C-alpha cells in the first residue's frame, strides 16, 4: 500500500507523475475488479453465476468423468440467468429510512450544504455499505461522491488518517483518463492516454480549493484559500471497514441464484404434458410423425385392431415444495447474517408490537454502530462547512414496523380513561380525527 510519505519522497526526487501513475496502475490491476464485483451484486447481477454453472457440468463419479453439458445447457432451454435482488435491497432499505427521512435534523443542514445534500448523503452511506467505505469531497459548499472504484486514499503512516488521495476517471474506454491528486494545500489535474504505461500530461497546475473575490476600489482581487483539514472525508460502514456483502451473505446469495436458475431450466426442459404411446410400432421417426398428426388433427388413423393402440397423457412435475423450503432457508440465512430484518418473515400474522421489536432488535443494534460512523463523517463535514451546528443535534430516524391496530386501541383506551383528550389523540393518530369522548364515533 502506498502512503502519504511515499508521495512526499517521490516529489522530493522529481518523480511525482511516475508515482501517481504507478498508484493508478496498481489499483486498476489489483483492486478494481473486486470492488466492481461487489457493486454488481448491489445492481442486481451475479458475475459468478455463469462460471459456477460451468463447474457443475463436469462431475467425477467413482473415477468416471461424467459430462453434464447436455443437462446444463441453459441457453438451449429457458435461456436466462435467474438473479435474485435480495443483496441490493438488503442495504438500501435501512439506509433509506435513516438518512433519507425529511423529518430529521439532517434535512435542516440541506439549506447550508446545497439542495440535494440528503440525496448525496444517502448515496454515500449506501455505497459505504457496498464497498466498506465511500468518500465525500467537500467542494465549496457542495458534497461530491467519490466511490472507491475510482479513488485511492494515501494515509499518513503515523496517524493513519488520509492526508492525500488520487482520483481517476474517463468518459469511455476510448477516451483519455482524468487524473487528480488531492492534497491538503490544493489539487493537481493531469490527462493520461488510455493505455497502461502512458505518461501523465499536465492539464491544470496545482491550485487551491477555494477562490475568493475581494472587491477593491480600483479592481477586484482573487485570493486562493484552502480548508483547515483534508476535504475528502471517508465514511466507513463498520469498525472493520469491510463491505456488508461478506462471504456469509454472498455464498447464500450465489446458492439462491444457482438453485433458481437450474430449477427454471429444469421446468422448461421437461414438457408440461408428455404422451405415452402404447401399441404403436415403428422407430422414433414414425412416432414423431404420429405425434405431429395427432397435434394437427386431434385424431390418429391406424390400421390395427381398435384396442391395440393407446395414447395416455402424462405430466412431469418438478418438486416445488422442497425447492421453496430450501430457498426460504437460504433467504432467512442472508438476513440473519446481515443483521437486517426480513419483513417477509413477519407478514401473514397479527404480531404484537413487543414481538415486532424483538424481530428488529438485531438490526437496530447494527444500525446504531453505523450511525456512530455517520456522525463522525458529518462532524468533519460540518467543520469544513464552518456551520454552527452540533453533530449531537443530528438525529437519525429509527426504522420501525408497528401493529397500528394495537397502537390505535391503546390511544382509544387513554381517551376513554381521561388521560388524554380527543384533540391529542387526533394529533398522535390522524385516523382518529373524528373520535369523540362520548360514544367513540
Do residues 412 and 435 lie in contact, with contact meaning Cβ atoms separated by under 8 Å?
Answer: yes
- Is residue 177 within 8 A of residue 191, CB to CB? The reply is yes
**CA dist 298 → 271, 290, 291, 295 (Å):** 19, 11, 10, 6
Tell me, yes or no, whether 77 lies in a domain: no
Based on the number of CB atoms within 10 Å of its own CB, is 190 exposed (0-12), middle (13-18) or buried (19 or more)? buried
Per-residue cell: 410: 391503546
Helix (H) / strand (E) element for 99: namely helix 86-99
pLDDT reported for residue 208: 94
Residues near 107 by Cβ (< 8 Å), separated by ≥ 6? 101, 118
Per-residue model confidence (pLDDT) at position 209: 94
Q: Do the domain assignments include residue 213?
A: no
Residue 121 included in any domain: no
- Count, residues in the chain: 441
Is residue 14 situated within a structural domain?
no
What pLDDT, on the 0 to 100 scale, is given for residue 25?
94
Q: Which residue has the cell 449531537?
A: 392
Give the C-alpha separation, 40 to 44, whole Å: 6
Let me know: does 187 contact 206? Beta carbons within 8 Å: yes
Running DSSP on this structure, what letter comes out for residue 397?
Answer: P
Report helix, strand or coil for 60: strand
* Domain membership flag for residue 373: yes
- The number of folded domains in the chain is 1
Q: How far apart are the first and last CA of the chain?
A: 70
What are the distances in angstroms from CA 145 to CA 137, 234, 365? 6, 10, 27
Distance CA 295, CA 303 (A): 19
User: What is the model's pLDDT at position 114?
Assistant: 66
Grid-cell match 443530528, residue found: 394
Output the pLDDT for position 32.
93
DSSP for 282-297 reads: S-HHHHHHHHHHHHHH
Q: Walk along the chain (441 residues) and give the pLDDT tens digit of each residue.
A: 899 999 999 999 999 999 999 999 999 999 999 999 999 888 888 888 767 766 665 444 444 444 444 444 444 444 567 777 777 777 776 665 454 444 455 555 666 676 678 788 889 989 999 999 999 999 988 899 999 999 999 999 999 999 999 999 999 888 999 999 999 999 999 999 977 778 999 999 999 998 877 777 677 777 889 999 999 999 998 888 899 888 899 999 888 888 888 787 777 766 556 666 666 666 667 767 766 776 666 655 555 554 566 767 666 667 788 888 888 899 889 888 888 877 776 665 566 655 566 667 777 778 888 888 888 898 898 889 887 766 666 656 555 554 456 566 666 777 777 766 776 666 655 555 554 444 444
User: What is the pTM assigned to this prediction?
Assistant: 0.74
Tell me, what's the pLDDT at 370? Answer: 85
Per the domain annotation, does 409 fall within a domain? Answer: yes
Structural domain includes residue 84: no
CA distance 399 to 419: 28
Q: What angle in degrees, to the nearest 10, is found between the helix axes of 117-131 and 106-113?
A: 110
Q: What is the pLDDT of residue 207?
A: 93
Residue 424's domain comprises 353-432
Asked if the structure places residue 399 within a domain, the reply is: yes
- The pLDDT, as a whole number, for residue 192 is 94
Amino acid at each position: 500500500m502506498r502512503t502519504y510519505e511515499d508521495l512526499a519522497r517521490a516529489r522530493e526526487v522529481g518523480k511525482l507523475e511516475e508515482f501517481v501513475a504507478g498508484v493508478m496502475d496498481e489499483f486498476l490491476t489489483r483492486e478494481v475488479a473486486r470492488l466492481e464485483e461487489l457493486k454488481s451484486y448491489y445492481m442486481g447481477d451475479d458475475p459468478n453465476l455463469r462460471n459456477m454453472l460451468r463447474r457443475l457440468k463436469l462431475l467425477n463419479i467413482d473415477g468416471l468423468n461424467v459430462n453434464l453439458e447436455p443437462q446444463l445447457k441453459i441457453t438451449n432451454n429457458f435461456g436466462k440467468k435467474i438473479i435474485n435482488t435480495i443483496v441490493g435491497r438488503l442495504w438500501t432499505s435501512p439506509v433509506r429510512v435513516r438518512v433519507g427521512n425529511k423529518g430529521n435534523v439532517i434535512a435542516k443542514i440541506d439549506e447550508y450544504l446545497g439542495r440535494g445534500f440528503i440525496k448525496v448523503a444517502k448515496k454515500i452511506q449506501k455505497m459505504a455499505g457496498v464497498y466498506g467505505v465511500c468518500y465525500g469531497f467537500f467542494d465549496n459548499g457542495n458534497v461530491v461522491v467519490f466511490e472507491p472504484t475510482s479513488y485511492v486514499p494515501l494515509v499518513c503512516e503515523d496517524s493513519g488518517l488520509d492526508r492525500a488521495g488520487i482520483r481517476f476517471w474517463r468518459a469511455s474506454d476510448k477516451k483519455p483518463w482524468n487524473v487528480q491528486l488531492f492534497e491538503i494545500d490544493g489539487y493537481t489535474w493531469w490527462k493520461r492516454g488510455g493505455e497502461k504505461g502512458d505518461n501523465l500530461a499536465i492539464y491544470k497546475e496545482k491550485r487551491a480549493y477555494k477562490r475568493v473575490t475581494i472587491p477593491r476600489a480600483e479592481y477586484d482581487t482573487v485570493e486562493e484559500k484552502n480548508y483547515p483539514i483534508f476535504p475528502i472525508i471517508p465514511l466507513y460502514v463498520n469498525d472493520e471497514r469491510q463491505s456488508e456483502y461478506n462471504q456469509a451473505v454472498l455464498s447464500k446469495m450465489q446458492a439462491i441464484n444457482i438453485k433458481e436458475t437450474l430449477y427454471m431450466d429444469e421446468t422448461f426442459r421437461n414438457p408440461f404434458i408428455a404422451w405415452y404411446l402404447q401399441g404403436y410400432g415403428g422407430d422414433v421417426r414414425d412416432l414423431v410423425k404420429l405425434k405431429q398428426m395427432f397435434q394437427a388433427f386431434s385424431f390418429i388413423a391406424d390400421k390395427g385392431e381398435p384396442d391395440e393402440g393407446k395414447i395416455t397423457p402424462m405430466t412431469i412435475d418438478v418438486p416445488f415444495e422442497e425447492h421453496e423450503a430450501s430457498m426460504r432457508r437460504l433467504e432467512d440465512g442472508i438476513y440473519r447474517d446481515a443483521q437486517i430484518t426480513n419483513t417477509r418473515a413477519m407478514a401473514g400474522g397479527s404480531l404484537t408490537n413487543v414481538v415486532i421489536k424483538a424481530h428488529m432488535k438485531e438490526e437496530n443494534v447494527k444500525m446504531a454502530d453505523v450511525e456512530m460512523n455517520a456522525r463522525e463523517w458529518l462532524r468533519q463535514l460540518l467543520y469544513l462547512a464552518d456551520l454552527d451546528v452540533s453533530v449531537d443535534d443530528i438525529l437519525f430516524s429509527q426504522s420501525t414496523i408497528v401493529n397500528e391496530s394495537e397502537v390505535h386501541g391503546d390511544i382509544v383506551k387513554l381517551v376513554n380513561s381521561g388521560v388524554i383528550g380527543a384533540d391529542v389523540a387526533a394529533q398522535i393518530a390522524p385516523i382518529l380525527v373524528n373520535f369523540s369522548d362520548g360514544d367513540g364515533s
